[in-house]
Structure 1
Amino acid sequence: MRRYSRSFLIRHPERRGKDVETTRRSCEKFRAHPTTIVNFVEGSRFTEAKKHETRSPYDNLLPPKAAGIAMALNVLGSQFDKLLNVTLCYPENNTKPFYDMLSGRLTRIVVRINLVPIGEELHGDYVNDKNFKRGFQRWLNGLWEEKDRQLTDIMRDKER
């Protein structure tokens, strides 16, 4: 899901909600087929500048973007009962890991995968139900807090 920036939506208010509607329509196509959804909730590669710009409360992550995953679960929820929460860390190459990988300088990748049950509390109308939206964001922020702790621990272990 490609999200519009706030500045873009200020200039083009008619586009508000279109990105979410596009996601909903895309998900509808998968109802009749076995499907895997890959959702990059952070939305972008982490940099200190982006962390500052987004006022991220996390040490190692940008704030999660909840609308895409909430919409996918709402439209396709009955098809999913678990999600894989994947955390990638590049302890020795955390500044530009993608560039380091392409140039053969990536020395180590730590992968943590947690299987997270998808309960009924994660199914609802993210766009129109404010209580559901707040609860969903609380749930996702909880996952993010744990992910941030994991990344801090991995980076600390690197220094030993």
Structure 2
Amino acid sequence: MFATFPGLIRIPLALLLLAINIVLHVVLLFAFTLFKVILPIRAVRLACSRVLVVIAESWIGVNNRLFDVFTRTRWQVDGLDGLRRDGNYLVLCNHQSWVDIPVLQKVFNRRIPFLRFFLKQQLIWVPLLGQAWWALDFPFMKRYSRETLIRHPELQGKDREATRLACEKFRHMPVSVMNFAEGTRFTPAKHDAQSSPYRYLLRPKAGGVAFVLDAMGDALHAILDVTIVYPEGPCTMMDLIAGRVHDIRVHVRELPIEAGLTGSYDEDAAFRGRIKRWVNTLWSEKDAQAARMHMATEPAPKGD
């Protein structure tokens, strides 16, 4: 209905309703987080954690509804059959834009356990959102540059230890752990700088995948290989809100966790080589899948 409104009315109205949705749900999140923090009773904290997830799923559900009524985005999604709310997944996805996150949330909300992303430490200071992510047990990672590690070798491995601690917490709750294995958003400049062998993807990093698989162990029951394509090219969150993203395509493939995919990435050279080959093979398949998705149909015509 609102998608037919002029942009001067539609876009500010969409932004206002999205902001109201954030404030209302974050206030609820903070209220239950306060109970969780001040009451040292395990049963109460577990109950609060479950309520927090329900609130977060409601938040996402309202966002999804707002995008539906304010935009005419055409969604093509396949591979969702057989997904379980009670399953634990490692979700691996290519990374092109901040739009990837609402896309993943729309596709998986209430179909699998609540998605949790590894976030950069600085994002905890984003007003309202950063504190909400903290309340929902999103793991915050502090990454160190090569120069910093040379000056302070004692910091070596700190980010991986944080990964392990976060995953230990996830072993005791239904969870879907999201990992952008490329480590950064795709741009042509990054693609060229890496001499990436893939047409649509950057080189993946196997270390993070290996650490999650090792830390979660048998608590995970499957891997979800997700490929997202925007046929019209790169887009921003404002493009999505303004209705300028007309076509989004998502392919989901469930993969078993084979015995050879767990081991010590730092200490076992044979395992390190094996997991790198597995991730690179997966990325080759994903690149081919992205190519098929780009060629499937012509993108929707551009316009406001």
**Structure 1 and Structure 2 fold alike (TM over 0.5):** yes
Identity %: 45
Higher helix share: 2
Q: How many residues align?
A: 159
Letter in 1 for 2:278: W
Structure 2 distance, partners of 1:32, 1:116, is 22
- Deviations along 1:77-133, one digit per CA (max 9) or x if unpaired, are 2111211111110112x2235442133200101110000100111111112111101
- Match in the other structure for 2:219: 79
How far the C-alpha of 1:6 sits from its partner, in A, is 3.2
Structure 1 distance, partners of 2:190, 2:151, is 22
Q: Is this contact kept in 2: 1:91–1:108, CA < 8 A?
A: yes
Letter in 2 for 1:151: A
- Match in the other structure for 1:120: 259
- Match in the other structure for 2:50: none
Match of 2:287 among 120, 145, 148: 148
- Correspondence list, 1:11-160, <5 A: 11-92=151-232, 94-158=233-297
Structure 1 distance, partners of 2:291, 2:152, is 39
Structure 2 regions of 5+ residues with no counterpart? 1-117, 119-140, 300-304
How far the C-alpha of 1:59 sits from its partner, in A, is 1.0
Structure 1 regions of 5+ residues with no counterpart? none
Letter in 2 for 1:19: D
Structure 2 distance, partners of 1:99, 1:12, is 39
| Cα-Cα RMSD | 2.0
Helix, strand or coil: the match of 1:110? Answer: strand
How far the C-alpha of 1:7 sits from its partner, in A, is 4.2
Structure 1 distance, partners of 2:147, 2:228, is 30
Structure 1 length as normaliser, TM-score?
A: 0.88
How far the C-alpha of 1:157 sits from its partner, in A, is 3.3
How far the C-alpha of 1:8 sits from its partner, in A, is 4.1
Helix, strand or coil: the match of 1:21? Answer: helix
How far the C-alpha of 1:31 sits from its partner, in A, is 2.2
Q: Considering only CA atoms, is the larger Rg found in Structure 1 or Structure 2?
A: 2
Structure 2 distance, partners of 1:66, 1:98, is 28
- Match in the other structure for 2:89: none
